[in-house]
Amino acid sequence: MTRKLFTSILMALTLLCACYGLYPRIMLESANTNVAIISDYREITALAKNSGLGVDEAIEILKANGLSGLMVSELTGDSVTHGIGHAEIKAAGDNPNSTEGTIITIKPFSEHKILLNEWLRLRFGISDDKRGPILLTMPSNMIKNSGIIPDIDGLESAKKAGLKIYYRPAPSPGHLSDKAALMLRNVNEHYHIDVFTPSGEYVSGYPDVSALANAAKELGIPVAKVEFSKQVGEPQLNAAVSPMLLSLHSVTNEEMTSRRISRQTLRERMIRAAVERSVRLLLYRTAPMNTANFKFSDYAEEVRLLGESLKSHGFNLAWPDTVYARGNLRPNIFSALAMSAVLMFCVYSYFVRMGMTENVKTQIIFAVSGVILSVMILKVSIMARLAGALTAPMIAAEASLLAMDEAKSRRIIPAFAFVVIGGLSLASFFSVTDYMMRLKAFSGVKLTLMLPPVLVLLHDLKRRIHPESLTEFLSRPPLWGEIILYGALMGAIGFAVLRSDNVANISGLETRLRESLEHLLIARPRTREVLVGYPSLLLWGFLVRNGYFKLYREIFRIGAVLGFSSVINSFCHFHTPMMLILLREFNGLWTGLLAGLIVVCVIKFAVIPVLRLIRPVIS
């Protein structure tokens, strides 16, 4: 069997298996179109007061503009000390830090005094039947960040307006970790909680978060998985309640202030989270500390604009469902066969390129090995992770070598088709809840940026595509041009590795460029493909066809590898909708080729003529 026929049959079967494995995910993504906008009740209260509006009136306006839920927090000792809510805290003695303890009292005017007294005793494990003050045997500064009582005003306002409740239980004082779960159950009895996330630096009870997790599962209350959260114990809680999770995006007041995030940028970040990362809860904050020039009418209009933008992207302004709890998202034999087939083909092809004899016998050996591997990765989780981590870089390396088999652009489309089929095979196997909700990180992302350039470089030295062998290259003195170019390459690879999955290091100029491309193309192509990968590929072909710069061409081959590595990494973003990934890669292909064509034209019609003029002078 010829290699071309063998490859065509294998890729066709792989594509069929990958599509079958991806079908549940695609169906789930097509139905997962509800997005909810949430506001912080206390922020609305302050903003409404400054604008001369009643809280309930303000909430109704926001609801009419697209608001779906209110974030209501359990009040901490610090909040109560500053006069928020229906409780009062004072030291038992004259000294605020007195060892005599702390007295907590429900304010006498409260119409919910009976319920609040009950909650207060539940929170601190006090079993007396009294309804008066309670005495804690700890100074008030020890409960500064601890939960005291739920913000019943917020709960009442949400109930009255018919809005969903996003509840934030605070950390428990001392070692009363079970009390946070008890409070969650009791609050849910009186005010139905739709989703919750613990507030504070740590989850109550950490490292044992079972109390809250068990309460959530028994009550059927999903946990909001907050993007980029650094809360201690948050990963353990999310893993314990999975798949009862709803992803949530929020930008803190501190981040808005420190990074000078504009209101328009904030709104665009919310839209991007919903479109690109399948986030379905958007906590949209007011201006930090309600700055004087920011009015309630401004915020209400922003909520309306956010809602309109979401609807223009095909979303419904409604409360989302925990779709992963009812989706049949698990690897099957077809997805395992697809990934195994791609991996074994890449290994087989690389060995052949490096000099291994190609015949029917070796093809059968690798085919049987792929079937055995597919069974192993289904049964052994560590094998699945290792296979995935190796498959991604091998796909990038094979696609790069396929694209550069000849210095002709006609090889680009087959290479692009191969990397897409490989990406679909990876996605079909790893499209499960843990990876789509980012409870687990894919092991091959950084390896895909580092290993393919090494594999391609070894191949080029072995096959003398670079005009020197490895021995000759190492035995001669380095050229300054090589030092500069390869130094730049290593810096680019290192920068790409550090930047992978990291949004904190993106410059303002790049952010604006990304936003412009998103408006223009819907799915923004990735920077490494448009500015590095495809231009390097076209430039390498141009240099080879014209016999230019033989000692320096390798840098452009490695640049092309980085582009294909970026393509396969896009498919490893399992939280991104599959159709968006495919559109992004198509946009990356044509914009990258267009950018590469421009670079080639500049080199051909401007740089080369100038070099020809000055070459006699510098020689």
- State the Cα–Cα distance between residues 233 and 254, nearest whole angstrom: 22
Burial 393-420 (b: 16+ CB within 10 A, else e): bbbbbbbbbbbbeeeeeebbeebbebbb
Question: What are the sequence ranges of the domains in the chain?
Answer: 3-27+327-618, 34-73+153-320
Contact 572, 392 (CB under 8 A): yes
Mean pLDDT, consecutive 10-residue stretches, the chain (619 aa), reads 77 92 90 94 92 92 96 93 89 64 87 89 80 81 87 95 95 72 92 94 86 92 92 92 93 82 87 92 82 83 94 93 74 92 92 84 85 90 91 94 76 92 94 88 84 90 74 62 60 54 49 63 82 90 84 84 93 92 93 92 86 59
pLDDT of residue 500: 47
Please return the burial class of 492, using the count of CB atoms within 10 Å of its CB with bins 0-12, 13-18 and 19+.
middle
H-helix or E-strand spanning residue 609? helix 608-618
pLDDT of residue 502: 44
- Name the 3-class secondary structure at 195: strand
Contact 222, 246 (CB under 8 A): yes
- State the Cα–Cα distance between residues 412 and 538, nearest whole angstrom: 9
3-state SS record for 395-422: HHHHHHHHHCCCCCHHHHHHHHHHHHHH
What is residue 316's DSSP assignment?
Answer: E
What separation in angstroms does the CA of 256 have from each of 226, 269, 291? Answer: 17, 12, 12
- State the Cα–Cα distance between residues 31 and 146, nearest whole angstrom: 40
Contact 92, 98 (CB under 8 A): yes
What is residue 83's DSSP assignment?
Answer: T
CATH architecture assigned to 34-73+153-320? Alpha-Beta Barrel (3.20)
Token pair for residue 67?
Answer: 């608001």
Token pair 């009950």 is found at: 118
- State the Cα–Cα distance between residues 556 and 269, nearest whole angstrom: 34
pLDDT of residue 74: 93
What separation in angstroms does the CA of 587 have from each of 245, 509, 518, 533, 570? Answer: 32, 21, 11, 13, 13
pTM of the model: 0.85
pLDDT of residue 235: 92
pLDDT of residue 130: 72
Report the candidate in 178, 119, 195 with the shortest Cα–Cα distance to residue 152. Answer: 119
What separation in angstroms does the CA of 303 have from each of 34, 59, 67, 559? Answer: 16, 12, 7, 43
pLDDT of residue 619: 35
- Long-range Cβ contacts of 546-555 (<8 Å, 24+ apart): 548/608, 550/467, 551/467, 551/468, 551/479, 551/481, 551/482, 552/481, 552/482, 552/485, 553/466, 554/457, 554/460, 554/466, 555/485, 555/486, 555/488, 555/489
What separation in angstroms does the CA of 181 have from each of 74, 371, 426, 484? Answer: 13, 48, 39, 60
Contact 66, 115 (CB under 8 A): no
Report the candidate in 427, 402, 426, 417 with the shortest Cα–Cα distance to residue 561. Answer: 402
**What are 317's strand-pairing partners?**
35
Q: At what angle do helices 360-379 and 333-353 cross, to 10 degrees?
A: 140
- State the Cα–Cα distance between residues 366 and 344, nearest whole angstrom: 6
- Name the 3-class secondary structure at 154: helix
Report the candidate in 7, 2, 1 with the shortest Cα–Cα distance to residue 342. Answer: 7
Amino acid at 463: R
Report the candidate in 245, 253, 239 with the shortest Cα–Cα distance to residue 287. Answer: 253
H-helix or E-strand spanning residue 36? strand 34-40
Report the candidate in 94, 93, 92 with the shortest Cα–Cα distance to residue 102. Answer: 92
- State the Cα–Cα distance between residues 616 and 619, nearest whole angstrom: 5
